[in-house]
Structures are given as structure tokens and as C-alpha cells.
Amino acid sequence: MLTLLVVAGLILADLRFNSLDRTRAILDTLVAPVYWVADIPSRLKDWQETHLVSRSTLQGENERLRRENLILEGRTQQMASLQAENIRLRALLNSAALLRDDVVVAELIGVSPDPVRQHVVINKGSRDSVYVGQPLIDANGLMGQVVEVGEFTSRVLLITDLTHSVPVQVNRNGVRAIAEGNGSLSALEVHHVAATTDIREGDLLVTSGLGGRFPVGYPVAVVSSVVRDPGQTFARILAQPTAALDRSRHVLLVFTVGQGEEG
Amino acid sequence: MESGQGYWVVIATLLSAAVLAVLPVPHALVWWRPEWVALVLVYWCIALPHRVGVVVALLTGIGMDILEGAVLGQNTFALSVIALLSVGLYQRVRLFSLWQQAGIVFVLIGIHQLICQWVQNLEGVGTQQPLFLLPALSSALFWPLVLSLLRGLRRHYRVA
């Protein structure tokens, strides 16, 4: 009975006062090996996929990647001049220059076993100078932010978690809103958007940089449905995250060099 | 038999259960994952009530909380409660038939899930539907397997 009371106290301490963050970080480091072991099957599968393939498949893939690389290189040719132009124009408008963000590749080693929580565990921790609040992206868009950092691993809260919200803007016209997770991996809800606001299906939502947590301009979601009920003050808007939240294995941690301000 | 023998078997089985508990599963099965750690703990509480009890449950629970990224104390509380119950029930449960035992396991894991659900609701992330009882059902169905496996291990390594 006494132990139960102590544990109840523990729950309260963690939930209400966040007084155990330091302890959690240490314990996180201790339990990391369990995630490593649980990750072995998928790593074996990866190994098998990279090592046990035929020569022709590899050649084909190589060919495809070479073509893709050529196209991407072609697209970046103008990048340098466009960037310079952008900086010049921003200077003309008296707004702060946008700095490029550095990224570090991390690998996903675990997924929250608890269906009501949308967490993932990645294989970079305080040793790689990961910090709480750091944004995580994959090739297609924003995935979430770091909430706990251990020595070798850290825990990332996905943007679809019930407790997560991200400030966004519509890429087309700059309308600002807040996209909240609703607990399912495939949808975000955009709340408190007036029924008359110009927002349509297919609009891309990107991070707005307001709130100072996420850098500006990363794609977050594509609006998938807008329901305007005349009886309601706000439109009911659902959006589908662009990041492959349930599939990506290789992810990028964003190190913001300096937060650029909106002009 | 000397006491303290084979304690590592208990620790090893609990650790393997923890690995099973975080092993990625397909999205459709996520609600059906049995509570492996709770199952193993219940077995040891019934088999060795004088050695495995609330203290082991407490330590396991803290580990599970960190592992799942849950509120510190959620699993600790739930596992302690079911350890307490199974240590109290062991004399009766040992006499039950396999499926009666599975029924008891259903109730125990159900209590575990209920407590977890309470804590999650305090935090504001719980579900509205009674989906959270599905793991209790799947755990009960896996009980015969877990029982025979762990009993085999216990006899082989003469854990007492």
C-alpha cells in the first residue's frame, strides 16, 4: 500500500511539475539497449536487402539514381544565383536574411508501442548534441520534435500526437493557422480557421516559424478536406502529413543556425 | 535448494518480454499486442510468490515507463497492483485449470490496462473507446503458451 502511494506521488511529480526530466534522461540511456535489440529484425531485413541482391538489380538501381542525380543537379544550377537574388531582395525589404539550416542524418530505431502515443526513438542523443525541442524532418516534410534526450538515443514526438500542435501557414497565400495532431498517423486537424478564410483542398501547409520552435518553410501537410458548415463559426479542416510518418527509417535532425524572421 | 538460485532467469525473461513489448508491429495489430511484461510478471508472482512480488514489479515498471515514454509511474503503478493481486491469489490460481487461469489473467491484465488508461486520461491522451481492453484478451489467449514456456524454463534451470 505504501509503495502504491509513493508511485502515485511519482505520477503526480512527472505529470504536474516535470521535475523528473533529469532522471528520465539518465534512465533513457539505460534502457536504450532494449531498443537496439528490438531493432535487430528490421536491421537484418535492411542488410538482406542491401547485400543479397542480384547484380542486375544493383546496376538498374545505380542507373536510376544516376539519372535522378543528374536531374537534381540540373535543378540546383540556378540555386546559387537565386539565393543571392533572394538575399538582395530581402535586404531591399529590410528583413533579416534567412540562414540555411544544417541537418544530421539519424536512423529510426523504435516506435512507441503504446497506440495512444505517437513517438519514435532515433539513434542520436546528447552525444551528437541533440537538444529538446529540435525539429525532425524526413525527405518529404516535418515529422516532429525531440522531447527527451538520452546519451545515445532520443525520443521524438510526432506532429500527429494528440498533444502536439504546429504553427503553419498556407503556402499559396500565407494564411496562418495551427495544425494539431489527432492521434491518427494520417491526419492533422486545423482548428479555429474562420469559415470565410481562403483555404482549399490541396493547399500545402508549411511551417510558419511563429512560436520559434520550427524553422520557416518546411512542408507539414496537404489539406485533404474542408467542410464549411454555416451553423459553425469555424471551418472543419483536415490535412494529410506530407512526411511518411509510419514508413521513414532515415530521418534528418535540423540544426537551426539562426532563426530568420518573417519579413 | 539454495535460495537466490536462477534469479537471472527471471531477469532474462522480463528483459525478453520488454523487447517483445517494443518490437515494431504492423499498424493493424497495434491494439492486439499482448502485455508481455505483465504476463511474465504474473507468472513469476504465481510461481515464486516468496521471491518475486511488488519490488520486482516496481523496478520493471519504472523500466517500462521509460521504455514506452509514458508518464513515470504509469506502468509502475499498474504492474505493482497486479503483482500484489497475483501474490495474494497464487494458492488458488495454481489449482485452477488452464482456461480458468486464462480468465484470471484476463482480469489481471484488464486491471493493468484500466490503470494505464486512467493515468493516460490524466495526461489527456487516452482513447474514448474500450479498445484498451483488447490487450487483456490477447494476453489471456497467449497465457497457455507463456505458462508452458516459462514453466519449462523454470524446471530446466531449477529456479526456486
C-beta neighbour count of A19 within 10 angstroms: 10
**C-alpha to C-alpha distance for A122 and A125, rounded to whole angstroms:** 8
CA B14, B19, B20, B22 dihedral sign is positive
DSSP state of A203: P
**Cα–Cα distance measured from residue A166 to residue A206, given in angstroms and rounded to the nearest whole number:** 10
CB A177 within 8 A of CB A157: no
Contact, A199 vs A226, CB < 8 A? yes
How far apart are alpha carbons A73 and A95 in whole angstroms? Answer: 30
B19·A34 Cβ contact <8 A: yes
Spell out the alpha helix ranges (H) of chain A: 2-17, 21-51, 55-76, 79-92
What residue has cell string 518480454?
A: B17
Which residues of A lie closer than 8 Å to B, measured between beta carbons?
3-4, 7-8, 10-11, 13-15, 20, 23-24, 27-28, 30-31, 34-35, 37-38, 41-42, 110-117, 119, 147-148, 155, 161-163, 183, 185, 246
User: Which chain B residues contact residue A41 at CB under 8 A?
Assistant: 23
B139, B39 contact by CB (below 8 A): yes
Cβ distance B71 to A11 less than 8 Å, yes or no, reads: yes
Which portions of chain A are predicted below pLDDT 70?
18-19, 95-100, 257-263
Residues forming a β-bridge with A121: A110, A155
Helix (H, G, I), strand (E, B) or coil at A230: coil
Helix and strand counts by DSSP (H, E) for chain B: 6, 0
User: CB distance B74–A148 less than 8 Å?
Assistant: no
Q: Provide the β-strand partners of residue A234.
A: A194
Looking at residue B142, its pLDDT comes to 94
Kindly list the distances between the CA atom of residue B47 and the CA atoms of A136, B86, B147, in Å, as whole numbers in the listed order.
46, 10, 10
Q: Which of B19, B69, B123 sits opposite A37 (nearest CB)?
A: B19
In one-letter notation, the amino acid at residue A141 is G
CA-to-CA distance for B98 and B96, rounded, in angstroms? 6
B18 contacts in chain A (CB < 8 Å):
31, 34
SS3 A259: coil
Of A24, A113, A185, the CB nearest to B33: A113
**Residue of A7, A21, A154, A165 to mutate for B, most B C-beta atoms under 10 A:** A7
Alpha-carbon gap: B160 to the closest alpha carbon of chain A (Å): 25
Q: What's the confidence (pLDDT) of residue A157?
A: 93
Distance from CA of A237 to the nearest CA of B (A): 21
Q: Which grid coordinates are listed for B49?
A: 510468490
Residue A237, strand partner residues: A190, A226
User: Which residues, including other chains, have CB under 8 Å from residue B146's CB and lie 6 or more apart?
Assistant: B39, B40, B43
Q: Answer yes or no: are the C-beta atoms of A253 and A134 closer than 8 Å.
A: yes
* Per-residue CA distances from A77 to A43, A72, A80, A83, A218 (Å): 37, 9, 7, 11, 21
SS3 A257: coil
d(CA A177, CA A168): 5
In whole angstroms, what is the distance from residue A251 CA to residue A243 CA? 10
pLDDT per residue, tens digit, chain B (160 aa), is: 445 677 889 999 999 999 999 888 887 888 899 999 999 999 999 999 988 888 999 999 989 988 888 888 889 999 999 999 999 999 999 999 999 999 999 999 999 999 998 888 888 777 777 888 899 999 999 999 999 999 999 999 888 7
Select the residue from B15, B22, B36, B131 to test the A interface by mutation, using most A Cβ atoms within 10 A.
B22
CB contact (8 A) between residue B54 and residue A34: no
User: What's the grid cell of residue B93?
Assistant: 490460481
Interchain proximity A117–B66, CB inside 8 Å: no
Residues of B with CB under 8 A from a CB of A: 15, 18-24, 27, 30-31, 33, 54, 58, 61-63, 66-74, 76-77, 80-81, 84, 119-120, 122-127, 131
Quote ipTM for the complex: 0.81
Nearest CA in chain A to B129: A116
Residue A106, CB-side half-sphere exposure with 13 Å CA sphere: 34
Residue type, A222: V
